[in-house]
Amino acid sequence: MQGTVDQARPEDLRPDRAIQQGDRSKIPRRLQRARALLRRHRCRPVETAQSHPALRRVIEIETTTLGRIGRSVNRLGFGGAPAGLTDYLSKYTPEDGSARDGVLDAISRALDLGVTYFDTVADYGLGENERIFGEALADRSDIFLATKVARNAFDDVRASLETSLERLGRDSVDLL
């Protein structure tokens, strides 16, 4: 099978009557190839109430298994740098309430689209990203949460992790 998912044209990925009615003979060949490529690369469907049922079969997020822990996670993750660093990607101040609401909305949308891998670090905005992530992910047990420390000594690492857990409102993280 030749090509990549990126070569599928947008018009081939939108729902049409053939897909809705389940008539596979009328599904464009390019779309069939895109789906086969997604399956071959172990992608899983994004389950979202906002997606059209036909799109759920097309929009997929690739997963991978992490080393010895054997946990399956999205290859596409949501990083915390923009949520904690002033003007990281655009005009943004973590202390600004409307900007904070925008980050909370972005995390909520990522969850709706099937993202389950979230990455933070204690040093982004003096931990502000961890506070925001903690608020947004408070009731979620179905996510994979990673954080990092910028320390070398064991006691410093332990203290940083304990502070991160407090900010995140969690007893543990999945990856340090």
Mean per-residue pLDDT pooled into runs of 10, the chain (176 residues): 44 48 61 62 46 50 83 85 64 68 86 88 81 91 88 81 93 90
- pLDDT score at 84: 65
Q: Which pLDDT does position 38 carry in this prediction?
A: 56
pLDDT of residue 29: 67
Q: What is the pLDDT of residue 96?
A: 67
Q: Which residues contact 88 (CB under 8 A, 6 or more apart)?
A: 81, 82
- 88 flagged as catalytic: no
How far is Cα 51 from Cα 54, in angstroms, rounded to an integer? 8
User: Cβ neighbours of residue 33 under 8 Å, at least 6 residues apart?
Assistant: 1, 2, 3, 8
- Taking the C-alpha atoms of 24, 27, 28 and 29 in order, what is their torsion angle to the nearest 10 degrees? -20
pTM beyond 0.95: the answer is no
Beta bridge partners of 44: 61
Question: What was the pLDDT predicted at 118?
Answer: 93
pLDDT computed for residue 50 by the predictor: 43
